[in-house]
A and B are shown apart, each in its own frame.
Chain A
Amino acid sequence: MRSFASNFRGAHLRLNRMITQQVRRAFVSSHRDRGRQKRDFRRLWITRINAATRIYKVFDSYSKLIHNLYKNELILNRKMLAQVAVLNPNNLYTISNKIKTIN
């Protein structure tokens, strides 16, 4: 446990009592935040997709984009593919065109 606490600050890495407390807290935060991480990242992706749809595409908002995606059963577009929006904006265009042609 001392090795786990080896990069803590001050007395938190030297004194046994403090080490036990702080390591416990660290584990608790880590456990809680693993759940939060999923929420936070989804939030971030949604914000990014929202921004990208407003700039590039004719769908005026994230909500309309998602609605159209679901209507056309393009479920493979997880929110993770906000990466698409950042790196390859052109692919966003192709997706949206596909949606419109299917529509």
Chain B
Amino acid sequence: MAAAPPAFTGNLKKALAGLRRINLDGLRWRVFDAKGQVLGRLASQIAVVLQGKDKPTYAPHVENGDMCVVLNAKDISVTGRKMTDKIYYWHTGYIGHLKERRLKDQMERDPTEVIRKAVLRMLPRNRLRDDRDRKLRIFSGGEHPFHDRPLEPFVMPPRQVREMRPRARRALIRAQKKEQANRAAAESAKDEEDGKTAKAEIKA
């Protein structure tokens, strides 16, 4: 919702950085909501929009992609065990210095970097890549300082979720049944307690 624009916390400077370098505001401002989206699937859609490949006037030598604003970057989700097991590696150039960081830690440090890396690595490595990076604005919360621009929300295409493998599905069903049993037990315990207190009241 259009919560008061002045309530945008976080570096305004970083959000507006380099906006002057992007010429041609005949571009649309597409807003992606990352809440609950899967990381890679969202990133590929962003990459397509950022390159301008959804416009019939696409030309590979001209940078004509739309501005992409991504909100709620901290609510991005990943399937499987990637939250703990996906590791970002990078080499600093000094021999033996291969550094690594897990997705979990990266999310704690700077959740916007996760999406940024994902999108940048999906763009073609050419001279337009930096300009495309400049068009991509990611915010970890839902606030952004661009309320005075004509924003267009981006509707993600429907996702075909693969049906669960039998073992995983059985585990899920077991977990659900356990939860139901717990809840039932909790309720019955509560009923017993209510019954006891009622009896106590009657006795007293």
Asked if A55 is at the interface of the complex by the 8 Å CB criterion, the answer is: yes
A47 within 8 A of B: yes
Is the CB–CB distance between A54 and B54 below 8 Å? yes
8 Å CB contacts to A: which residues of B26-62?
Answer: 53-60
Whether B60 lies near A55 (C-beta < 8 A) is no
| Interface contact B59-A86, CB-CB below 8 Å | no
Q: Are A48 and B58 in contact (CB under 8 A)?
A: yes
Residues on the B chain within 8 Å of A44, using CB: 58-60
Measured in the bound complex, the distance between the Cα atoms of B58 and A48 in whole Å is 6
Give 1 or 0 for each of A74-103: 1 = CB within 8 Å of chain B CB.
000000001001100100000000000000
B54:A55 contact, CB within 8 angstroms = yes
For A53, give the chain B residue with the smallest CB separation. B56
Cβ of B194 to closest chain A Cβ, rounded Å: 57
Residue of B nearest to A56 (CB): B56
Whether B53 pairs with A47 at a CB distance below 8 angstroms is: yes
Which residues of A sit under 8 angstroms from B58, Cβ to Cβ?
44, 47-48, 51
- Expressed in whole angstroms, the Cα–Cα distance for A55 and B58 within the complex equals 13
- In the complex the two chains form, is A82's CB within 8 Å of B56's CB? yes
Residue of B nearest to A54 (CB): B54
Q: How many whole Å from A41's CB to the nearest CB in chain B?
A: 11
Asked whether, in the complex, the Cβ of A51 is within 8 Å of the Cβ of B55, the reply is yes
A82 vs B57: C-alpha distance when bound (angstroms) = 10
The proximity string for B residues 58-82 relative to A, scoring 1 for CB distances below 8 Å and 0 otherwise, is: 1110000000000000000000000
* A51 to B51 CA separation, bound complex (whole angstroms): 12
A52 at the interface (CB under 8 A from B): yes
Q: Evaluate contact between A85 and B60: CB separation under 8 angstroms.
A: no
Q: How far is the CA of A48 from the CA of B57 in the complex (A)?
A: 7
The distance from the CB of A85 to the nearest CB of chain B, in whole angstroms, is: 5
Residues of A near B60 (CB, < 8 A) are: 44
User: What residues on B are CB-neighbors of A55 within 8 Å?
Assistant: 54-56
CA distance A51 to B65 in the complex (A): 13
Quick one: which of B85-137 are within 8 Å of A by CB? Answer: none
Contact A51 B54 (CB under 8 A): yes
Residues of A within 8 A of B59 (CB): 44
Residues of chain B contacted by A48 (CB below 8 angstroms): 56-58
A-side interface residues toward B, CB under 8 Å? 44, 47-52, 54-55, 82, 85-86, 89
Please provide the 4 A-B residue pairs with the shortest distance between their CB atoms, ordered closest to farther. Answer: A52-B56, A85-B56, A51-B56, A48-B56
With A47-B53, A50-B53 known, 9 other A-B pairs at CB within 8 A are: A44-B59, A48-B56, A51-B54, A51-B56, A51-B58, A52-B56, A54-B54, A82-B56, A86-B57
Residue pairs across A and B with Cβ atoms less than 8 A apart, 25 shown, are: A44-B58, A44-B59, A44-B60, A47-B53, A47-B58, A48-B56, A48-B57, A48-B58, A49-B56, A50-B53, A51-B53, A51-B54, A51-B55, A51-B56, A51-B58, A52-B56, A54-B54, A55-B54, A55-B55, A55-B56, A82-B56, A85-B56, A86-B56, A86-B57, A89-B56
